[in-house]
Structure 1
Amino acid sequence: MGEFAIGQSVPRFEDPRLIQGGGTYIDDIVLSGMAFAHVLRSPHAHARIVSIDATTARAMPGVLLVLTSEDWAASGFGDMPVPVGLKRQDGSPLFRPPYPALVKDTVRWVGDHVAFVVAETAHEAADAAEAIEVEYEVLPAIVSTADAMSPDAPRVWPDCPDNVSFFHANGDEAATEAAFAKAHHIAKHRFVINRVTAVTMEPRGCVVDYHASEQRYTVHVAVQQAHTFRAELAQIAKVSESKVRVVNGDVGGSFGMKSFVYNETPLAMLAAKMLKRPVKWKSTRSEAFLSDAQGRDNVSDAELALDRDGNFLGLRVKTLVAVGAHLQTGTPNVTANFNSLAGVYKTPAIYVEGFAVLTHTPPIRPYRGNGRPEAAYVIERIIDVAADEMEIDPVELRRRNLIPPDAMPFKTGLSFTYDCGNFEANMDMALDLADVKGFAERRDESRKNGKLRGLGVSNSIERAGTPGLEGAEIRFDRSGAVTLFAGSVAHGQGHETIFKQIVCDKLGLDPSDVRYIQGDTEAVFFGQGTGGSRSATFGGSAFMRASERIIEKATKIAAHALSVDAGEVKFEDGIFSSPKTNRTMTIRDIARDAANPAKLPVDIEAGLAATAVYRSDVENFPNGTHVCEVEIDLETGKPCVVKYTVVDDVGTVLNPMLLHGQIHGGVVQGLGQILKEDINFELGTGQLLTGSFMDYAMPRASDLCPIHVAANPVPTKTNPLGVKGAGEAGSVGAMPAVANALVDALAQYGIKHIEMPATAERIWHLLKSRA
């Protein structure tokens, strides 16, 4: 519908409310009689709890409750959910240790949950937590992913002798071995992808209110999947889902970290039930560094086999994937997406192994891209390594191996079948927009200014919209205004804008007449939630189907009102008309008539509303090319991204402005990991060395240049909208593009690789070592 139609750059409807302070975040929730909670966390990465004495703490002013593992065990609540169904390398079931909300006998990371204190104020709860006397017997700790499987490494769990929880393998091992046997050249490298954390704008928190008369909980949280979250809470509390209401307001960032249940929410549920008062727990920034699930942390040994002409014959990758000390609901996903290692190339034989290793560190969860940025980094870096060793231009080497459009659908050497895409067109567009032909001149200019300049290219593809389902509802009221109920939960993506565009375009509505509701399990009839770049595919398609059902019913009502057959009614731009009458009706007119039984056909129910649950058993594959240029100061080693270009194929572009915002955000997160961000533990003790913004460096606006984003849409037929996921595309392509540009800049010093994060200090030392 005009300026609000699909494909238009409609500004976000959410923004005026949020910018003017109208958002409702967890810290904005204040309930009558609310008490405050604080978690006593382990100061050791691995230690046996000899004794806990909370006598002094319980007697302190304002203290209402102190919970320890004994109280949790006696409560009747169950353990935290842990995954099932995976296997170890020998075929035995995965190792899945029990996960109570409070530790019983042994802590396994710095920040592990020892006790839960509730008091009249947050300060009183924190003071009381410090008064709890805990005697620890400190034990050896393992925090290195690379060393976790070593025979002499400390065991995270006594029942798991090799520290391997589960194993993932894919591809044809025999065919890959045969490909390597006939290779002219084999490129090899170990790639270490460091650990990062989400650093969301608002740290985690929850407010729980227990209604004793109904034996029912209302849980205010900020999560990605309200209905799934409710199901997990009900499982832990051992009640039906109808006894738990999850209310999800605005989410101050998530990136996968705020996906599934953490210990603090069921602890707050138990406390609220025991006290019959609302209980609030809110993480601080320092606490978040210790307690939030973290991301990445892989060690990959990659080998690429090529023939004499540079054609890829085979790819072999073995990866150690850190999962932390405990498995959480999303943990299995961190190895599944390594199937993206096939990239956009026609490599005939691939074999991938992934070992999920336990360490004395916080748990790992999916983090923006979840395995796809790691996979893209490995394949795109090993291509540059091979290009250097074989003295072939990196772009040319890629071009020789790209999957052509006429090969679609294309079954990769792993499990995916790409349905569509034009990968060479992506690359050509990006190279042209980035003015790669003028790079040599820019490099010479940088040299005159005492700087090194490098160019990096990466082609990326990811799996998005994995098989699943999502709900949506459109409901007209008696005035003709509309409310949208979304099962998807936004945490910065702009769902309200996109879903309004889809519905308003289809029904001819003005967005100002449309209200949007998400994340309240009592209002939204069904939802699976947000994650894995799925919301446009599933939520958007659900709203499209609900719109079609609205039109179908409204057409029958219009036919009755216009005294014509339904087949003679035309609906366009919100107007119902018929060539047999000069009368017209808007859809708002129909909605008002739908509330009046006197104006309805006898066989039509009153009211104008429709629900839809969209289901898909196939994924889609967004893809693109990133071109990055960096400058490195020779005196200080400081790197700077000076030119960045992205061409992405996300299928149908619903809103170019929002797409650009998503790509920009993803690029910044990828760039942040390559250049700055790093979760670092002290070897032996497991103490976190990067526990604040004094040590954990975040990318700033001054670290960036303008990011040029263009689209090369090849709509997919896997969903009604033709969309491919866009939320994680930026982060998938950015990591290898920036890394390749850095290595290109440093190549004249004989430097073939640099570990992440490539800080100024690390680069400076490398340069000095080669001077």
Structure 2
Amino acid sequence: MSSEENPFGMGRSVRRREDARLIRGRGRYVDDLGEAGDRHAVFVRSAHAHARILAIDTAGALAAPGVEAVFTGRDLRDAGVGSIPCGWRILNKDGSPMAEPPHYPLCVDRVRHVGDPVAVVIAATRGQARDAAELVAVEYEELPAAAATARARDPGAPQIWAEAPGNLCCDWEIGDRQAAEAALAAAEHVVEIELVNNRLVANPMEPRAARAALDPSSGRCTLWTTTQNPHTVKSMLCNQVLGIPDHELRVIGPDVGGGFGTKIFLYPEESVVTWAARRLGGAIRWTADRSEGFLTDAQGRDHVTAARLGLDGEGRFLGLAVSTTANVGAYLSQGATAIPTFYYAQLLSGVYRIPAIWCEVAVVFTNTACVDAYRGAGRPEATYVLERLVDAAARRLGLDRAEIRRRNFIPADAFPYATPLGLTYDSGDHEGTLALALEAVDYQGFEARRAESAARGRLRGIGLSTYVEIAGGVPSRLVAQLGARGARYEAAEVRVQPSGHVTVFCGTHSQGQGHETTFPQLVSEKLGIPYETVTLVQGDTDQVLYGRGTAASRSLVVGGSAILRALDKVIEKGRRIASHVLEAAAEDIVFAGGAYAVGGTDRSVSFAEIARRAYAAVDFPPDEIEPGLNETAFYDPANWTYPGGCHACELEVDPETGVVTLLRIVAADDVGRVLNPMIVEGQIQGGLAQGVGQALLENCVYEEGTAQLLTGSFMDYAMPRADDMPEFEVLTHEVVCAHNPVGAKGCAEVGSVGLPPAIINAVLDALAPLGVTHLDMPATPERVWQAIRAAAGGPA
């Protein structure tokens, strides 16, 4: 079957095969997996953000109906349960290591955020466990709490960890400070901006859950958990937290209902449930309430930044200096220190030629939930700083906002392009994506539309954002040098059955990205076999050799590349078998369209027939070729991939109420080779929806002084709804990645990276006639109305 004949090959919009079960309620999520006899775990959580634990009385809970056990942090520590480690060791400016305090699954002596777990109750039913948890009496000595990112390092601020004086986890920098300051000093114009990147709660549809069961016959424990990364969860539990042999634990991530980064990590609840199941035997399960998710899921963003951009008289960028304070919460989650450093600051060159760049980041502890990766993970924060600066510079110099971007773009003929911050972009066409977006949004006709809105008493604005992000990964050796405590390669195994059917085992894991559809498309294209004969297995550490899971848009880029390498091995072994079957030299055998043929002749044999003969093992010498047709491959990425593009937003503001109405959103993205256009568009739309949420609605707020969560439910935390969205216009502009075999760059996060600054730039464009020059996200009606009032000289 040729590529042109294959309706399921690369570039085809094949409908998602997994939807047949998922939309009919036939998915298998962790909370669906319970059996009769399962016990239930309920966690006792702190109502204080910061307090010493003076005493815990569990007697009342232990005497309650149905209760089998109650464990505290001291119980786990005395049993040898260790700390949950951070995945990155970042160095300070002076070369000293970051502060890395412990993170025990249950608090031992002190609680450090509201919702911190101090004990766990195991009972026959969930209701009994809940009732008994109310009977656990904890005596606290409340302490002052720190919540605000900007004030965490103030003199006299409450100290969270003795290991981190001044609440400073690390004081990090990148770039050339001297060169950046010299460029700014010599610049004809210097534009300065201070902004906040608001804190977000991921809120995937499926709350976190875990079920652990001990098999009495083998002594092995199986953990089913809502994870994006089963092998990493297993590795950390075995080698760091529980200290058990790898062969004694199996981790399975079944269907996962959304992750957005927050399900990458090992959490205390998974650790406790696994330990308790091994100690007590049988099965123990836990499913979070939505309120527990608000309190304990890793959250995102939360930066406070000051930035300066220097330009010459023609608007060309000369230098950039950025100072950011990044909040990581009370504990270090696995990616906590990497996200505001390497995943953020290294992207501050963006799509532009900026000769000199320097950035410093103070990573701080507060009495709040952990902050880590959330869709985009550092790249949205960098793009927001840069694109807000570029618009401010255009206003200062009186330049068109599209023109100032064109003037400073890295030109298409300059790739590969080395930035001053250590990245090398392999490919891109920023002028192409800008032109595509401007044409689609009718940029030239905007002023007429602005006048029409004004006639109706509305303020109309248009905003642009041109961006580049990183996806996939870099060589494991390099990330180890940067401080990563884990490799970045991916593993894949291709098993060809005697029938010719193919099963692919890959270490990435889907939470809605459509892997069960796209990976079989890749195999169908490569082998020229029917799409329906290919099956994907994922999310099970017993079945899949190894993997780093799904994060940073790495699934197709890295996982797909590993699959292609394994397929190359399969094809090559099949060629050797075909040479015996066709009685020709192996180098004369050509594989194409699902068949092996002797070049220049009509003699051929199908791939399915070669599969059958590989297991029959009678057509080739067994001392030369082993029977079977199974192959394994590892792929360690050579470089990041660099998706990029231009997002445009047009909107109206009601000056009487501050309500922002989105009229048009155009996303023109270069995500490399597009394997399934329908799925790519869906992934981009999902990111755009979350970008709308951050820009206009979502804001996680803790009360200063008490660090109590004020937005702990959907009554207070505004999630975007269908009527908040215009029809997204998604366009792709393919520039193939130059260094991975798939040619893809990644698409899942581009919407959350590029759109928020485009929306805020559009709001400020609408409000510019009133004198409003700055607004932080989210641009809620109240904030917009207050900004209008303040600009008019009235009380804010």
Fold conserved between structures, TM > 0.5:
yes
Q: Distance in 1 between matches of 2:513 and 2:639?
A: 23
Find the partner of 1:296 among 274, 284, 301.
301
Q: Is the 8 A contact 1:477 1:591 kept in 2?
A: yes
Partner of 1:238: 243
Partner of 2:407: 400
Q: Is the 8 A contact 2:561 2:740 kept in 1?
A: yes
Q: Does the alignment pair 1:753 with 2:778?
A: no
Q: Does the alignment pair 1:109 with 2:130?
A: no
Q: TM (normalized to structure 2)?
A: 0.95
Q: Distance in 2 between matches of 1:637 and 1:22?
A: 44
Q: Is the 8 A contact 1:626 1:733 kept in 2?
A: yes
Partner of 2:478: none
Aligned pairs for 1:54-203 (under 5 A) are: 54-83=58-87, 85-203=89-207
CA offset digits 1:7-53 (Å, max 9, x no partner)? 11222222112112221111111134211001111101111112111
- The change in CA–CA distance for 1:61 and 1:510 in structure 2 (over 3 A counts) is same
Give identity over the alignment, percent: 45
Q: Does the alignment pair 1:489 with 2:493?
A: no
3-state SS of 1:613 partner:
strand
State the shift of 1:105 in Å.
Answer: 1.3
3-state SS of 2:535 partner:
strand
Aligned pairs for 1:498-537 (under 5 A) are: 498-537=518-557
Partner of 2:442: 435
3-state SS of 1:758 partner:
coil
- The change in CA–CA distance for 1:410 and 1:480 in structure 2 (over 3 A counts) is closer
Find the partner of 2:696 among 650, 659, 675.
675
State the shift of 1:484 in Å.
Answer: 1.1
Q: TM (normalized to structure 1)?
A: 0.98
Q: Does the alignment pair 1:718 with 2:739?
A: yes
Q: Does the alignment pair 1:551 with 2:561?
A: no
State the shift of 1:659 in Å.
Answer: 1.2
State the shift of 1:499 in Å.
Answer: 1.1
Partner of 2:346: 339
CA offset digits 1:391-449 (Å, max 9, x no partner)? 22221111111111122222212121212111112111111111111111221222223
Q: Does the alignment pair 1:737 with 2:777?
A: no
Partner of 1:541: 561
Q: Distance in 1 between matches of 2:564 and 2:92?
A: 42
State the shift of 1:581 in Å.
Answer: 7.0
- Aligned alpha-carbon RMSD (Å): 1.5
Aligned pairs for 1:336-735 (under 5 A) are: 336-337=342-343, 338-467=345-474, 468-578=488-598, 584-602=604-622, 603-735=624-756
Deviates more, 1:551-560 or 1:120-129: 551-560
Q: Is the 8 A contact 1:690 1:696 kept in 2?
A: yes
State the shift of 1:83 in Å.
Answer: 4.4
3-state SS of 2:491 partner:
strand
For 2:517, the aligned partner's letter is T
For structure 2, list consecutive stretches of 5 or more residues without a partner in the other structure.
Answer: 475-487
3-state SS of 1:280 partner:
strand
Q: Distance in 1 between matches of 2:696 and 2:57?
A: 45
Partner of 2:282: 277
3-state SS of 1:342 partner:
coil
State the shift of 1:582 in Å.
Answer: 5.5
For 1:21, the aligned partner's letter is G
Q: Distance in 2 between matches of 1:83 and 1:575?
A: 46
Deviates more, 1:694-703 or 1:408-417: 408-417
Q: Distance in 2 between matches of 1:464 and 1:581?
A: 44
Q: Is the 8 A contact 2:328 2:366 kept in 1?
A: yes
Q: Distance in 1 between matches of 2:171 and 2:72?
A: 34
Find the partner of 1:330 among 335, 339, 342.
335
For 2:498, the aligned partner's letter is R
3-state SS of 1:705 partner:
coil
State the shift of 1:583 in Å.
Answer: 5.5
Aligned residue pairs, count:
771
State the shift of 1:518 in Å.
Answer: 0.1
3-state SS of 1:146 partner:
helix
State the shift of 1:128 in Å.
Answer: 0.7
Q: Is the 8 A contact 2:189 2:311 kept in 1?
A: yes
Q: Distance in 1 between matches of 2:668 and 2:204?
A: 27
Q: Distance in 2 between matches of 1:429 and 1:130?
A: 59
State the shift of 1:389 in Å.
Answer: 1.9
Q: Does the alignment pair 1:42 with 2:46?
A: yes
Deviates more, 1:553-562 or 1:579-588: 579-588
Q: Distance in 1 between matches of 2:566 and 2:24?
A: 32
Q: Distance in 1 between matches of 2:21 and 2:315?
A: 55
Q: Is the 8 A contact 1:65 1:271 kept in 2?
A: no
State the shift of 1:579 in Å.
Answer: 6.3
Q: Distance in 1 between matches of 2:425 and 2:286?
A: 45
Q: Distance in 1 between matches of 2:499 and 2:353?
A: 57
Q: Is the 8 A contact 1:183 1:305 kept in 2?
A: yes
State the shift of 1:572 in Å.
Answer: 2.1
State the shift of 1:321 in Å.
Answer: 0.4
3-state SS of 1:385 partner:
helix
For 2:351, the aligned partner's letter is V
For 1:365, the aligned partner's letter is D
Q: Is the 8 A contact 1:67 1:116 kept in 2?
A: yes
Q: Distance in 2 between matches of 1:520 and 1:339?
A: 34
Q: Distance in 2 between matches of 1:629 and 1:473?
A: 47
